[in-house]
Amino acid sequence: MQNLRASFLTAVGIGLIVLAMAGVAERDMQARVERALLPAAVVQTVSSASATR
């Protein structure tokens, strides 16, 4: 019975670690996408500002 409890808690712990790692990876990927799109957004804003003149 104690082995079953230990196995269950181990599985829950591993699951939480996997979820935490996935969250960090998701934030890292989102930051990379935002950095990649930032120069395009600045160029687009400058282009549209000069087009209105």
Residue pLDDT, tens place only, 42-51: 555 555 555 5
The residue with tokens 């230990």 is 6
- End-to-end, the C-alpha distance of the chain in Å comes to 77
Is it the case that residue 37 has pLDDT exceeding 90? no
- 3 or 37, which is more confident? 3
Q: In this structure, what DSSP letter does residue 8 have?
A: H
- pTM of the complete model beyond 0.75: no
Classify 16 as helix, strand or coil: helix
12-33 pLDDT, tens digit per residue, is 999 999 999 999 988 888 888 8
**Which two tokens mark 13?**
């712990």
Q: How many alpha carbons fall within 13 Å on the CB side of residue 25?
A: 6
